Structure 1
């Protein structure tokens, strides 16, 4: 096998691994934890960058298109990594400015190809990636210890390893050296794949044992801290407060209360309102006011949840309770 063929196999294997992991996190795990969206996009961006070389060396007629996609991927790795660490709750449009350079640079690569400017654009994007790595590391250090920080650290190590591989390729003097850059990137992609298994991202089955500490944290958050009373509380915010991955929170809630997370949230809120409806000290308060006090965002959401949990309206429940106590 010649050098170009060897490079194609090495780069192709790395792209295949990245695309497989990306599709898994974007399609299967995305609903469990918003951070999986970021990780899926990071892996997709890495796949585009490594795949660029396949277009460039094996599909020469499509080189401009491959260069544009490769730059888009390369320049997006840094912003996606930073946003994953800073914003676990999902994408916010105010952060769109981070992707001006990736989009503009991709268009420029397509227009100028073939030209020496391609190399300068790629080298600049690699330098910018280093800057994003620095800021991502600084934000990671601000996080408290926990499973989320541990996983973000692993992702950051992977991205740093890929960046080192890209720098090596920029310094390469031969095609074989360039191929070694692909090998380095592949090693870190396989490493994150293995880490995914070790940290339970690929669950072995629903019967897999949950950490006792995690289950205790979730119980305490509901029963003692009463996080359900906070306005707008959802699975992502709950997970971030506990620094526990969302999928573990979901499984813990199911084990503890045999309900989904939203059902459990509403159950605790309704139980609080039921107690307040029977409290003489709160009889002067409007029912809607009680609903807001326990975390419901609107009266309609409260009435629907109350009816689902009790089979009655709040007023009917209150009157029935008064008759029984008379």
Structure 2
């Protein structure tokens, strides 16, 4: 098989890798993302990988629209790192992530690649983004190593995701170091192999496919979680996460999650807001609090901002805090 045929073969196999990455994006973002916001980030990571992997196909097979391929490829490459760091460093506090500074390079670099192509600046930008990706992955790994894992299987799955991202990065480095077109195509093929591996790994993993694990909860652990909410009032701690409570109680995070579900029929964040709103409702109708601002009551029960409080209150009660007070007064008259 001659060199041109090999390049075509590796390009076709890389194309299948793009399809696999897009399938994972759709599944994690639109299906699993309904249950867990972190899975949406996983989906976006694979969308970014698919864009970077597709760049080679655009650039070498569709020369007429190469600038579009270069721009989309750069946007994908420069987005992988920030998304990985978001996933592993922020965990459950995704809403507190300030993503704008991290989006400047993907957006700005993509614009430059589109308008200046062909230009040596493209190579400079791609190499810079590849180097920066390494730093993001190191930060993500350090954050992951400090986390309390929900359970062994979940921890292993996320660990393998990080390994897959590191392997994808090494494929990009190989492409930069390659001196000819065949080696570059081979790098794209290696990247696709990593995507295949993680795709089939996810098909066999309960974390990804949603198969639940049977867990017998010790009564004493359930009681600890119940006391934390009903006696200690752990929900009053601003920004409390399941990992923090897990460390406080010295029990695994997945046990905390299952205990909360068993006790209250809700997820951990839903339960936290349930107790917060319940206490605010009592305070709103207490005459002793008539001179207090509604926002101060929200801060007292653990809400960090007025906007998050008003949103949660309306979601749980269907009315605003002021509307709730008026309804109470009408019913009490």
Q: TM-score, normalised by structure 1?
A: 0.72
Which residue of structure 1 lines up, in the alignment, with residue 115 of structure 2? 111
For residues 58 and 217 of structure 1, what CA distance do their matches in structure 2 show? 63
Which residue of structure 1 lines up, in the alignment, with residue 106 of structure 2? 102
Q: Return the match for 1:76 from 79, 82, 86.
A: 79
CA contact (8 A) 1:15 1:51 kept: yes
1:51-70 matches, cutoff 5 A: 51-70=54-73
Q: CA deviation at 1:177?
A: 2.2
Instruction: Give the aligned CA root-mean-square deviation in angstroms.
Output: 4.4
Moved more, 150-159 or 255-264: 255-264
Which residue of structure 1 lines up, in the alignment, with residue 127 of structure 2? 123
Which residue of structure 1 lines up, in the alignment, with residue 183 of structure 2? 177
Which residue of structure 2 lines up, in the alignment, with residue 6 of structure 1? 9
Which residue of structure 2 lines up, in the alignment, with residue 322 of structure 1? none
For residues 83 and 143 of structure 1, what CA distance do their matches in structure 2 show? 14
Q: Return the match for 1:153 from 159, 177, 193.
A: 159
2:205 is equivalent to residue 202 of structure 1: no
CA contact (8 A) 2:24 2:43 kept: yes
Which residue of structure 2 lines up, in the alignment, with residue 309 of structure 1? none
Cα separation, partners in 2 of 1:296 and 1:79, compared to 1, 3 Å: closer
Classify the secondary structure of the residue corresponding to 1:201: helix
For residues 142 and 292 of structure 1, what CA distance do their matches in structure 2 show? 31
Classify the secondary structure of the residue corresponding to 1:40: helix
For residues 230 and 104 of structure 1, what CA distance do their matches in structure 2 show? 41
Moved more, 90-99 or 291-300: 291-300
Moved more, 143-152 or 51-60: 143-152
CA contact (8 A) 1:45 1:72 kept: yes
Cα separation, partners in 2 of 1:3 and 1:115, compared to 1, 3 Å: farther
Cα separation, partners in 2 of 1:263 and 1:41, compared to 1, 3 Å: closer
Cα separation, partners in 2 of 1:160 and 1:261, compared to 1, 3 Å: closer
Q: CA deviation at 1:75?
A: 1.1
For residues 262 and 127 of structure 1, what CA distance do their matches in structure 2 show? 36
For residues 16 and 182 of structure 2, what CA distance do their matches in structure 1 show? 16
Q: CA deviation at 1:272?
A: 8.3
For residues 263 and 48 of structure 1, what CA distance do their matches in structure 2 show? 35
Cα separation, partners in 2 of 1:119 and 1:296, compared to 1, 3 Å: closer
Which residue of structure 2 lines up, in the alignment, with residue 323 of structure 1? none
1:27-42 matches, cutoff 5 A: 27-42=30-45
1:214-293 matches, cutoff 5 A: 219-220=222-223, 222-226=225-229, 229-231=234-236, 237-238=241-242, 241-242=245-246, 257-258=264-265
CA contact (8 A) 2:242 2:253 kept: no
How many pairs were matched up? 300
Show structure 2 runs of 5+ residues with no match: 304-308, 318-324
Q: CA deviation at 1:82?
A: 1.2
